[in-house]
């Protein structure tokens, strides 16, 4: 808004065609000659403001939308420019409005968080955490204080199932069953092995 | 039916998703130990030492740790199994026991993991017949709290069981205590047991030192090693110590199949503790025998 008010009061006669102006903008986009166009663009701005007619007014309306967007979102950039010794020429500002339509202004980019940015503190914390997790896992898996000292046990098992502990005795007989253990070769309980439902494991 | 019982009934209760075959190491050691050390020993036989009849239950590898009702079902089934086992000894056709010995009125219990909780639950159930359980040994059992609390029911069951045990031992008079004759030993695997943290195995808040204690396998004499959650069922050193302790506390000459509570506690302390623990101090002091090295 402010830039607009700067430009609008200046009135001068001009009959600049719109397409011509667009050409100029295009050249400026790809162009490296920065110092020279200041005068030119300034005068162009004047020319533009001088239209005064309905056509120019439409122009202004059309641009004011964009410029409103631009000035609104990058408000801090403008006072900075004002406070600085060098005020950006009005024409340049306007051109920026047209040319940078969808681009992000460098000043604005500074205020957006970069998704890939990483402060040294974050980096250090992550590294330390990863190291700690590794050490904890390593210690848990391989550096337990207790060594495994159990000796293996051996046996010759045989089990006798109590088929007659049935639903007459308990409602869970279909689900669970009861066994008696006998050590083969030690328990001389030969009758256990004769049962059909006894099995040796 | 040709299966005949002949000694002292002991029942093994497998834990969460456990197998009835996990009884093998202990039962085998008990059979071998009796044959080699006790069967020819006239004094031992006169003192009521008999072979242990190891029973085991197949729970179809039920998931007891996650479901409270399953825990109660197993406890109910086991109480009925205990009644059935005791009836076997009453039947002369099914028992090879000496006729002069009294019929057993109780069964010793050994529970692994959640099986230890099921063993304690049995005494709380309505179908529990009093004095059919007086000695319980648990291996890596989470007594203090439920290891997994996804199910509200299991938390309630735990609270019910633990409240019952606490209030029983809090009675001023032994007559009011339904668990007066019950001794409970909790054996924990120590640091290697990453499934049930050994802190959960503590009986500190449940059972007074006169009726039970918690011990780590790494401090049991002749075991001296930590063991993981499954190794505790087959560890050779541990099964030898536990077997000796079981033969120490059993007495087939008594209906309960075990010696009186105080003698049992003394035997357990002798087998499982080093003598440096707080609970053993007053026993040593009372007897006046202090070993000076």
Chain A residue with minimum CA distance to B83: A169
| Shortest Cα–Cα distance, B282 to chain A (Å) | 31
Annotated catalytic residue B149: no
* Chain A partners within 8 Å of B94 (Cβ): none
pLDDT, tens digit (0-9, with 9 covering 90-100), for A128-161: 999 999 999 998 888 766 778 899 999 999 999 9
Q: How far is CA A20 from CA A27, A63, A95, A161, B50, in A?
A: 11, 16, 13, 104, 116
Residue B37 contacts A where some CB pair is shorter than 8 Å: no
Look up tokens 């049995």; give the residue.
B122
Strands A199-200 and A177-183, by their bridges, are unpaired
Nearest to A191 among B2, B29, B226 (CB): B2
Report the pLDDT value the prediction gives residue A32, as an integer from 0 to 100. 42
Given B56, B106, B113, B226, the catalytic residue: B113
The model's confidence at residue A189, banded by pLDDT at 50, 70 and 90, is: low
Spell out a b/e string for B38-70, using b for 16 or more CB atoms within 10 Å of the CB, else e. Answer: beeeeeeeeebbbbbbbbbbbbeebebbbbbeb
Report the pLDDT value the prediction gives residue A201, as an integer from 0 to 100. 40
User: What is the mean pLDDT for each group of 10 consecutive residues in chain B (293 residues)?
Assistant: 84 95 96 94 94 96 89 96 95 89 96 96 96 96 91 93 95 92 96 91 94 95 94 96 97 95 95 82 53 56
pLDDT, tens digit (0-9, with 9 covering 90-100), for A34-90: 444 444 444 444 444 444 444 444 444 444 444 444 444 444 444 444 444 556 666
Residue B287 structure tokens: 């007897």
Q: Do you know the residue count of chain A?
A: 201
What is the complex's ipTM, to 2 decimals? 0.92
């Amino acid at each position: 808004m402010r830039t607009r008010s700067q430009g609008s009061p200046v009135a001068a006669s001009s009959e600049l065609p719109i397409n011509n102006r667009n050409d100029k903008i295009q050249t400026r986009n790809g162009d490296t000659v920065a110092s020279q166009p200041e005068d030119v663009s300034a005068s162009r701005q004047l020319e533009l403001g001088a239209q005064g007619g309905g056509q120019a007014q439409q122009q202004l309306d059309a641009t004011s939308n964009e410029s409103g967007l631009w000035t609104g979102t990058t408000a801090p950039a403008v006072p900075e420019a004002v406070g600085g010794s060098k005020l950006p020429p009005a024409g340049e500002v306007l051109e920026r409005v047209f040319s940078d339509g969808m681009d992000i202004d460098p000043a604005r980019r500074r205020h957006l968080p970069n998704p890939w940015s990483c402060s040294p503190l974050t980096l250090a914390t992550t590294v330390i955490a990863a190291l700690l997790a590794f050490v904890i896992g390593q210690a848990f898996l391989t550096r337990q204080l207790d060594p495994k000292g159990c000796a293996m046990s051996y046996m010759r098992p045989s089990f006798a199932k109590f088929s007659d502990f049935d639903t007459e005795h308990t409602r869970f007989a279909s689900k669970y069953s009861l066994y008696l253990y006998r050590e083969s070769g030690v328990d001389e309980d030969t009758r256990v092995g004769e049962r059909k439902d006894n099995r040796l494991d | 039916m040709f299966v005949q019982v002949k000694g002292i009934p002991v029942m093994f209760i497998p834990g969460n998703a456990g197998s009835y075959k996990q009884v093998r190491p202990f039962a085998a050691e008990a059979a071998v130990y009796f044959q080699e050390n006790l069967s020819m020993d006239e004094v031992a036989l006169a003192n009521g030492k008999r072979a242990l009849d190891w029973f085991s239950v197949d729970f179809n590898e039920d998931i007891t740790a996650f479901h409270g009702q399953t825990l109660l079902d197993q406890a109910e089934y086991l109480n009925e199994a205990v009644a059935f086992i005791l009836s076997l000894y009453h039947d002369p056709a099914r028992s090879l026991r000496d006729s002069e010995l009294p019929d057993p009125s109780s069964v010793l219990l050994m529970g692994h993991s959640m099986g230890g909780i099921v063993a304690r639950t049995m005494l709380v159930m309505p179908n529990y017949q009093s004095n059919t359980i007086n000695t319980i040994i648990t291996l890596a059992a989470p007594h203090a709290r439920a290891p997994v609390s996804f199910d509200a029911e299991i938390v309630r069951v735990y609270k019910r069981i633990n409240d019952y045990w606490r209030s029983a031992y809090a009675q001023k008079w032994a007559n009011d205590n339904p668990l007066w004759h019950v001794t409970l030993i909790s054996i924990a695997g120590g640091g290697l047991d990453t499934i049930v943290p050994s802190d959960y195995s503590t009986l500190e808040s449940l059972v007074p030192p006169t009726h039970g204690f918690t011990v780590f396998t790494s401090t049991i004499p002749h075991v001296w090693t930590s063991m993981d959650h499954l190794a505790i069922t087959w560890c050779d050193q541990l099964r030898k110590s536990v077997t000796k302790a079981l033969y120490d506390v059993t007495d087939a000459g008594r209906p309960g199949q075990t010696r009186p509570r105080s003698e049992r506690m003394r035997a357990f302390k002798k087998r499982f503790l080093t003598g440096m623990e707080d609970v053993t101090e007053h026993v040593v002091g009372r007897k006046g025998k202090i070993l000076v090295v």
